[in-house]
Chain A
């Protein structure tokens, strides 16, 4: 078996024996709303079922139908499933973008295209496969109205032939996609796949080097998007109240939660719900309801994106000072207002850490995979109740809305950590209840829930102006005592947040740090840096803020440390600047990407090489 390594500069027009197995990317260019999602999912899943590590990314416009959309699939035998910029195999279905899409390809790439587009006239250094989609679809889909939707799936059959995808896997993927209830639609689509395959067999001569071969690297794994994973995490973490306002790319997190709630959390005997979901009038109300519900003792969450986080600022500050738990998912995207709401970014790290006015600091978790979306959702509820403070789970559009190959989720067995809550029986045993007193020296006070039937239970909740008995005060010593205790609480959090993933290479002088979805590019980039430049690097992936001592240790262990992040202003590094000594800060360098696409390894490697002067 020949499995040549392909570096981006290498020629891909080798002799007839030149083959690239399980290491390529496919891009499908279609029109938003044309039903290509099914075709793309089936294509991705059939490669997955052949045991080949794979990822799928949907690059879509902020539009219901009509604008161009691209879906990229990357298969990689080494398990690199981050974005790859170079496209090896283009499926050009959209006349509007076809020309530009073809011109962007590197030489040696393959192009399946709708025959009337005559794309083969554009370049001579590519492998072209014209397919008359309209002619093929007519006989398999007698209903002319459905043809537009069925036409797309024909390319699955064509690509199955060209890449060597097992047709039986494609059939399984298709029927899984449609489910038992839509057997008729599945059959219609299956016939279209067969027609595509038959056309390709009879008319297309394989010229490109790309192919798929069976592996055993996906066994037991699942395919899921990060939003659905986080939703499952909430449902299994005992979340009971969800209040939200729709916003891309976060809406599907709550919609998935609602779906799983209805399936798993309705009492079979009574038909009653152990959850409440309210679609609020805006993000202010959504987080206000979460604060109210958490104050009254529920595990409550909301999910939003950057613009919503901005609106929540005042309430989050109150949550910090009044010490009320809250779980807030921020599925980060680019910028405010009309702009790039369907593009990904790690753009809210700094503003969220310090959200609101006065002195505020908020814990943030950084999941990087669906499995971490699941576990960190649970961790966030425990953490919010343990520390009585709003907690942010910072995912992004790339993780939240794209389909990921993932490890299956482990059932949570730990009991729920409901924090320091005094019941009526507890109050009988204490001489005095002072809501904001640091009884245990960890900065975390005790609370009672409204409705607790005890004369000592009640306290009055307000913002920053309270003493340790929750009484109103404007005295400077009371204020200072309180905010100093809040600092102690923040310090305590450092030993409770998820610890970073650390890979220290004894030979390495250089360390690389990232968080969240940047990991895919960074891990692959470290491999590129090693293979192409022979440089060993150490690696630290942050899973949470506040930082733990492991981060400063890591920086101290290396001569230079690169912080890779997906924003313009090096926000993660800015958070380190707030607390680290100057000698540590002097070692920090920044690799930033902020174009809105998922970060890719080559971008990281190129920037690293430039800064290193290699």
Chain B
């Protein structure tokens, strides 16, 4: 019998709710090495771990495409649903109707959102469905080998040399026009900004739409593409420097007057926007639309929190639902009494 005393195990690194990072991770990615989508999945893992959100309170939703595979690559202890091409908005809306306590995170692509599912996308915007809706935007269809998507910029070149002549659909413009209450654009290569934006989305009460330019290394990372790593790095123009203070932490640094804007989010967290070239007010819809249009004219990729509005009711508010999830209400709460049916029968006699 051994009498050697084993050294105590090194303390495991855990987050504020005592969970290790493992349940926040997912299966190994099957996307191409260097795909922007993988960086976004990493940010999602990081953000949920850092915020200390129970993974099982999250519903990971997607449509079909490269981007829609990614919910399998994060939050292994959250239910996930890889649904129908372009139809993640409907499935996610339904899931929230059933259980309003779920945190919905939707990962879609530009094919999903701007083409086959644009009808569902715009109606989700109108309804202000409380979701974090990420568009992994690379301007091409990857799984079907490189066709242009509807977000490809005019003049952008396909790998085969074909030039896109058509007007791109800007999902952020649609988001602001049609009712999303937080609209942001980021770049999969900008880790800090993307993490901060995702945290703000999670703290936001309504629909948060994030258009993340996420280069496709296989089909759209060449010279002449406006969604390549080098193009976006050269043309990214950040609106502000973002920082986020979660509701459970005290604010340490005072804001310098006129240099920083503070947005208190629904859960009490703070989003801080430090002025860069100009003082940008993300609560001003007209300024937001103007800024996006001007950036497009200049060929800039404008990133940051483009728009935020915190007063509007979400779909779930409008429905005035009971406090508990509809899915698990007991029969007494969902089957009216015998006398109710008797009364209706009497009226029909």
- Which residues from chain A sit less than 8 Å from chain B, CB to CB? 220-224, 232, 235-241, 243, 260, 264-265, 267, 270-278, 280-282, 284-300, 314-315, 318, 408-409, 411-412, 415-416, 448-455, 457-463, 471-472
Q: Report B308-349 CB contacts with A as 1/0, cut-off 8 Å.
A: 000000010001111101111101011110101110110011
A residues within 8 A CB of B338? 411
The answer to whether A450 touches B95 (Cβ under 8 A) is: yes
- Which residues from chain B sit less than 8 Å from chain A, CB to CB? 23, 27, 54-57, 59, 61, 71-72, 76-84, 87, 89-99, 101-102, 119-120, 123, 127, 315, 319-323, 325-329, 331, 333-336, 338, 340-342, 344-345, 348-349
The answer to whether A296 touches B319 (Cβ under 8 A) is: no
If A264-B340, A272-B322, A278-B315 touch, does A241 touch B94 (CB 8 Å cutoff)?
yes
Partner pick for B94 among A223, A235, A237, A243, CB 8 A cutoff: A243
User: Which of B96, B327, B333, B338 has its CB near the most chain A CB atoms (within 10 A)?
Assistant: B327
If A449-B327, A462-B82 touch, does A455 touch B77 (CB 8 Å cutoff)?
yes
A452 to B71 Cα, complex, angstroms: 18
B residues within 8 A CB of A291? 83, 90-91, 94
B residues within 8 A CB of A411? 338, 341-342
The answer to whether B54 touches A453 (Cβ under 8 A) is: yes
A264 to B331 Cα, complex, angstroms: 14
The answer to whether A409 touches B341 (Cβ under 8 A) is: yes
Query: Whose C-beta in chain B lies nearest to the C-beta of A298?
Result: B98
Partner pick for B93 among A271, A289, A453, A457, CB 8 A cutoff: A289
In the assembled complex, the CB of A411 is this many whole angstroms from the nearest CB of chain B, namely 5
If A288-B84, A314-B84, A457-B56 touch, does A408 touch B345 (CB 8 Å cutoff)?
yes
User: Which of B72, B96, B322 has its CB near the most chain A CB atoms (within 10 A)?
Assistant: B322
If A236-B335, A273-B321, A458-B56 touch, does A281 touch B120 (CB 8 Å cutoff)?
yes
If A240-B329, A458-B76, A460-B72 touch, does A294 touch B98 (CB 8 Å cutoff)?
yes
In the assembled complex, the CB of A135 is this many whole angstroms from the nearest CB of chain B, namely 37
A289 to B57 Cα, complex, angstroms: 19
The answer to whether B56 touches A223 (Cβ under 8 A) is: no
In the assembled complex, the CB of A497 is this many whole angstroms from the nearest CB of chain B, namely 23
The answer to whether A460 touches B94 (Cβ under 8 A) is: no
A-B contact pairs, 6 of them (CB 8 A): A273-B319, A278-B127, A285-B89, A295-B95, A415-B331, A451-B79
A297 to B326 Cα, complex, angstroms: 8
The answer to whether B334 touches A274 (Cβ under 8 A) is: yes
If A276-B319, A278-B93, A457-B79 touch, does A265 touch B326 (CB 8 Å cutoff)?
no
If A236-B335, A296-B59, A453-B56 touch, does A272 touch B323 (CB 8 Å cutoff)?
yes
Partner pick for B81 among A295, A449, A451, CB 8 A cutoff: A295
Query: Whose C-beta in chain B lies nearest to the C-beta of A275?
Result: B326
The answer to whether A276 touches B321 (Cβ under 8 A) is: yes
The answer to whether B56 touches A293 (Cβ under 8 A) is: no
A287 to B120 Cα, complex, angstroms: 12
Query: Whose C-beta in chain A lies nearest to the C-beta of B332?
Result: A238
Query: Whose C-beta in chain A lies nearest to the C-beta of B85?
Result: A314
The answer to whether B344 touches A232 (Cβ under 8 A) is: yes
A residues within 8 A CB of B333? 274
The answer to whether A285 touches B123 (Cβ under 8 A) is: yes
In the assembled complex, the CB of A257 is this many whole angstroms from the nearest CB of chain B, namely 13
A449 to B328 Cα, complex, angstroms: 10
If A221-B349, A460-B82 touch, does A292 touch B93 (CB 8 Å cutoff)?
yes
The answer to whether A450 touches B102 (Cβ under 8 A) is: yes
B residues within 8 A CB of A299? 334
The answer to whether B119 touches A288 (Cβ under 8 A) is: no
A275 to B319 Cα, complex, angstroms: 8
B residues within 8 A CB of A471? 27
The answer to whether B94 touches A238 (Cβ under 8 A) is: no
In the assembled complex, the CB of B178 is this many whole angstroms from the nearest CB of chain A, namely 12
A residues within 8 A CB of B89? 285, 288
Partner pick for B341 among A221, A236, A295, A318, CB 8 A cutoff: A236
B residues within 8 A CB of A295? 81, 91, 94-95, 98
The answer to whether B341 touches A293 (Cβ under 8 A) is: no
The answer to whether A281 touches B327 (Cβ under 8 A) is: no
The answer to whether B341 touches A232 (Cβ under 8 A) is: yes
A residues within 8 A CB of B102? 296, 450-451
The answer to whether A450 touches B59 (Cβ under 8 A) is: yes
A411 to B344 Cα, complex, angstroms: 11
A residues within 8 A CB of B101? 451
Query: Whose C-beta in chain A lies nearest to the C-beta of B80?
Result: A460
A residues within 8 A CB of B326? 240-241, 274-276, 293, 298
A271 to B321 Cα, complex, angstroms: 9
Partner pick for B72 among A223, A282, A409, A472, CB 8 A cutoff: A472
B residues within 8 A CB of A280? 90, 123
The answer to whether B97 touches A241 (Cβ under 8 A) is: yes
A457 to B340 Cα, complex, angstroms: 38
Given contacts A295-B81, A457-B79, 16 further A-B contacts (CB under 8 A): A221-B349, A222-B348, A240-B329, A281-B120, A286-B90, A288-B84, A288-B87, A288-B93, A291-B83, A291-B90, A291-B94, A295-B94, A297-B99, A298-B327, A416-B331, A455-B77
The answer to whether B327 touches A240 (Cβ under 8 A) is: yes
The answer to whether A298 touches B97 (Cβ under 8 A) is: yes
A residues within 8 A CB of B72? 460, 472
The answer to whether B319 touches A458 (Cβ under 8 A) is: no
A289 to B78 Cα, complex, angstroms: 20
A264 to B342 Cα, complex, angstroms: 13
The answer to whether A267 touches B322 (Cβ under 8 A) is: yes
The answer to whether B97 touches A223 (Cβ under 8 A) is: no
B residues within 8 A CB of A293? 94-95, 97-98, 326-327
B residues within 8 A CB of A462? 81-82
A299 to B123 Cα, complex, angstroms: 23
User: Which of B59, B320, B329, B345 has its CB near the most chain A CB atoms (within 10 A)?
Assistant: B345
List the 5 closest pairs (A to B, CB-CB), nearest first: A292-B94, A288-B90, A297-B327, A298-B98, A450-B79
A residues within 8 A CB of B336? 235-236, 264-265
The answer to whether B90 touches A285 (Cβ under 8 A) is: yes
The answer to whether A412 touches B335 (Cβ under 8 A) is: yes
User: Which of A220, A222, A448 has its CB near the most chain B CB atoms (within 10 A)?
Assistant: A222
A505 to B94 Cα, complex, angstroms: 50
In the assembled complex, the CB of A183 is this many whole angstroms from the nearest CB of chain B, namely 17
The answer to whether A451 touches B97 (Cβ under 8 A) is: no
Query: Whose C-beta in chain A lies nearest to the C-beta of B342?
Result: A411
B residues within 8 A CB of A463? 82
Query: Whose C-beta in chain B lies nearest to the C-beta of A452?
Result: B56
User: Which of B54, B93, B98 has its CB near the most chain A CB atoms (within 10 A)?
Assistant: B98
The answer to whether A223 touches B348 (Cβ under 8 A) is: yes
In the assembled complex, the CB of B194 is this many whole angstroms from the nearest CB of chain A, namely 24
A461 to B82 Cα, complex, angstroms: 6
A residues within 8 A CB of B315? 278
In the assembled complex, the CB of B132 is this many whole angstroms from the nearest CB of chain A, namely 15
A280 to B77 Cα, complex, angstroms: 31
A residues within 8 A CB of B56? 450-455, 457-458
B residues within 8 A CB of A288? 83-84, 87, 89-91, 93-94, 120
Query: Whose C-beta in chain A lies nearest to the C-beta of B345?
Result: A408
Partner pick for B320 among A239, A271, A290, A300, CB 8 A cutoff: A271
A346 to B259 Cα, complex, angstroms: 69
A residues within 8 A CB of B78? 450, 458
B residues within 8 A CB of A292? 61, 81, 83, 90-98
A residues within 8 A CB of B331? 238, 415-416
A residues within 8 A CB of B349? 220-223, 408
The answer to whether A459 touches B97 (Cβ under 8 A) is: no
B residues within 8 A CB of A235? 336
Query: Whose C-beta in chain B lies nearest to the C-beta of A378?
Result: B335
A residues within 8 A CB of B94? 241, 243, 288-296, 298, 300
Query: Whose C-beta in chain B lies nearest to the C-beta of A454?
Result: B56
Query: Whose C-beta in chain A lies nearest to the C-beta of B100?
Result: A276
If A272-B320, A458-B55 touch, does A449 touch B99 (CB 8 Å cutoff)?
yes
A292 to B89 Cα, complex, angstroms: 10
A220 to B349 Cα, complex, angstroms: 7
